[in-house]
Structure 1
Amino acid sequence: MYSSGPLLALLAASLFATSVPAHPTSLPTREVELLHNVTIFTPPSTYTIPRTLYARTLLLETDDDEKDVLLATWENYTPDPELPYFPIFRSTDGGLTWAEISRVTDQVNGWGLRYQPFLYELPSAFGGFAAGTILCAGNSIPADLSATQIDLYASTDSGLTWKFVSKIASGGTAEPIDGLTPIWEPFLMLYEDEMILVHQTSTDLLTWGDVVDDVAYDVYDDRPGMTTVALLPNGSYIMTYEFFGAPEAAFAAYYRISDDPTAFNSAPGQVIQATDGTIPTSSPYITWSPAGGANGTLAVNAASDTDVYLNRCLGAPNAWTRVSTTEIASYSRNLRVLPNDILLITAAGPLGGSDNSVTTSSMDLSAITLAACD
């Protein structure tokens, strides 16, 4: 919904580097307990509407001492519009209980960190940082919304403290209006020996190259955006994005599959349409789980409903099944694969919400039966 511009799907930013992280397979400390609308954070009444939006989570995986530890952050609409920040909450019991441990604050612009945070853990050393370093990318925007700046911060102590790393990309006024030039939504993932964001590359996290198109359309107002990417077990990559100009529905959730995640623009776009005919719309998010057989399970959700759309056929267009969840519908609802075939679904409220809070729920993917692939 934020994206605005004629050609680039990656106005919603994407960051890649050396290899994809392993998916968790077991929890040595406890049996997984399914969560049903656990509250991570209830903002006080002094917060400005919508109070919270755009939740993101991270499961720490590189440190054996940190197993079962989750971090969460979100857009945080504090009473002080001048210097918003990204709160960092931690759960040490797989998402049952949460507490604030730190805040990622703007250390360079004097604007605050306002929109679209994203958390990522380095599975191996990169850019002078050790494996296990946590990266937080987000949009630094002044109170008058006159500029957008994707900045990168790092934590080397599991999220307790944060240090500015680099300015990645900058854009114009932070409004989704045709003719303006904002930059939006960082997404981080590893691929080979370089980082890529807003499809720009970096080998050191400090300097960034030229912009590359990942989804391009000739019509100015088609406005693809809000991309997320997942690795398939056959080595291909799948990218979801919202497509305002889609013939099926405004902001329909679309996807592309490519052997090369730096070359999505040469792959065809396909709409996500469930077997019951439903087309999810707005701010899709995709992830992959090893649950469900050799192909695993792709899971997508969008802001249009409370459900998830599952596919165990490597993204085959006729194999998306709509499955209900206990989590609320939300703007850019986050999906996170946990051990033991559990999918964590985290929300911070709808885009037009007046009293949002941050909640999380989970579902057991191994307990869901889907039709066999053709």
Structure 2
Amino acid sequence: MLGQKFIATIVALAISISPALSAPGVEPGIKQRALTYAPVTTKRIFTPPSDYRKPKTLYSRTVQLEDGTLLATWENYSPEPPSVYFPIYRSTDGGSTWSEYSKVTDKVNGWGLRYQPDLFVLPKAVGKLAIGTILLAGNSIPEDLSKTKIDIYASTDGGLTWDFLSSVAEGGKAEPVNGPTPVWEPYLRVYGDDLVVYYSDQSDPAHGQKLCHKISSDGVVWGPVVNDIAYSDYARRPGMATVASSSGAGGVSKRLYIMTYENGGGNSPSGKDFPVYYRISASPLNFAEAPEHILKAGEDYLASSPTITWSSAGGENGTFIVSANSHKEIFVNTKLGDPLEWVKYDTPQSASYSRQVNVLSDPEWLLIVSAGPLAGDNYVSNSVFKLPKS
């Protein structure tokens, strides 16, 4: 009964939904060539040298280009000097083999590009940025961790060269506890004709940490801070937001948007730190008013550093797919995010901090690149596998 009521609510909610927010996988407006994929199981992409600082690698991200090329990056704990950077590795055979392609280096601060990269391909032009432009947002932080700055770089040649585009937000010391004022964890998307950056913000004295976003019509000049999740309890630490949208299938005429996040200090029936929660909204710019749900499959609860994506495969509604640090499995939902309809499926890839699932150009196939756990002696690997069937 609850499931039927939930679907009815979602259908009503979707009536008012406006322009699409692009999500991971096949972006609206970009036509990708057909590719044939084959399973890949924990293929090593990068093994750090022995002089790297632990955890050596962390926080991996991928995108697929129009021609099928895959790009991957991660936090890279190379010895300093020189300043740390985000490596770009490339695969032209569906994730079977990878090679170093370029580096994204700090060109404006002299600090390095240290934490939390996010890769994104523009599905349409934004200002003077052409369709297909690759963007990388990341946290520029000096070696002493005294400052944080979310900067964006752009590539117009498939990821070979990168130019500084803009700064989104600045903050204080990179310390993930209440009191310091850093900014963290940028996440890029397009909504309508604008570029949106979601991020975590500790600079508001009313909140230990909150989730918010800024909007830009050109990727250069950014609007004011808009709160997405900001609890009245100062001690709460919602973080690591990612957003996915459905296509409007399954009798829902418009798109739905889901934001997943870790809820530091929130109710955790499993006892795990940073339980994963999510919200469903008619607009990706208005999660603040949406009810929140804890994410679980049966009595199995996800925790820590979630990411979400959506595939058009898996049924009339498509499939929302969530990964988190607590599990090697993925949690999938073919019922428009109904809280009672999450199902857990195994993957060939190990659990990893902020592990991203990417839907490939054939929506039946998924890519996971892992860069290891927080306290690991890590390397980077990937797996390619078919979307599990319900």
Distance in 1 between residues matched to 2:30 and 2:348, nearest whole Å = 23
The change in CA–CA distance for 1:186 and 1:338 in structure 2 (over 3 A counts) is: same
Paired position in structure 1 for 2:104: 104
Which stretch of the first structure deviates more once superposed, 40-49 or 77-86? 77-86
Which gives a bigger RCO, structure 1 or 2 (Cα 8 Å, sep 6+)? 1
TM-score (norm. length: structure 2): 0.85
Displacement of 1:118: 0.7
Q: How does 1:1-374 map to 2 (within 5 A)?
A: 20=22, 21-22=27-28, 28-29=34-35, 31-61=36-66, 67-80=67-80, 83-197=83-197, 198=199, 199-234=213-248, 235-248=255-268, 249=271, 250-275=273-298, 277-340=299-362, 341-353=364-376, 355-365=377-387, 368-370=388-390
Which letter maps to 1:233? S
How far did residue 93 of structure 1 move?
A: 0.3
- Structure 1 unpaired stretches of 5+: 1-16, 62-66
Post-superposition offset of 1:26:
7.7
Number of residue pairs aligned between Structure 1 and Structure 2: 344
The whole-number CA distance in structure 2 between the counterparts of 1:347 and 1:107 is 27
**Match for 1:304: what amino acid?**
S
Matches of 1:96 and 1:255, distance apart in 2: 33
Distance in 2 of aligned mates of 1:143 and 1:81: 9
> CA, structure 1 residues 222+104, in 2 after alignment: closer, same or farther (shift >3 Å)?
same
SS of the aligned residue for 1:184 comes to strand
Indicate how the Cα distance of structure 1 residues 257 and 18 shifts in structure 2: closer, same or farther if over 3 A, else same: closer
Moved more, 114-123 or 247-256: 247-256
Residue 246 of structure 2 aligns with an amino acid whose one-letter code is L
Residues 32 and 65 of structure 2 are in contact (CA less than 8 Å); yes or no, is this contact kept in structure 1? no
Q: Which amino acid aligns with 1:339?
A: S
Aligned position for 1:6: none
Deviation at 1:127, TM superposition (A): 2.4
**Runs of at least 5 residues in structure 2 that lack an aligned partner in the other structure:** 1-18, 200-212, 249-254
Contact 1:255–1:271 (Cα < 8 Å) also in 2: yes
C-alpha RMSD of the superposition: 1.7
User: C-alpha displacement at 1:68, in angstroms?
Assistant: 2.1
1:22 Cα deviation from its structure 2 partner: 2.9
Letter paired with 1:271: I
Distance 1:298 1:25, change over 3 A: farther
Deviations 1:251-277 (A, max 9, x none): 1110000011100000011000102x1
For 2:53, the aligned partner's letter is T
Moved more, 100-109 or 188-197: 188-197
Alpha-carbon offset, residue 317 of structure 1:
0.4
Note if contact 2:32-2:68 (Cα within 8 Å) is conserved in structure 1. no
**Residues of 1 paired with 2:214 and 2:81: CA distance?**
30
Q: Secondary structure at the match of 1:214?
A: strand
- Distance in 2, matches of 1:19 and 1:325, equals 27
1:44/1:23 Cα in 2 relative to 1: closer, same or farther (>3 Å)?
farther
Superposed displacement of residue 292, structure 1: 1.0
Q: Cα 1:307–1:19, aligned 2, differ >3 Å: closer, same or farther? A: closer
Would the aligned equivalents of 1:82 and 1:142 in 2 still touch at CA under 8 Å? no
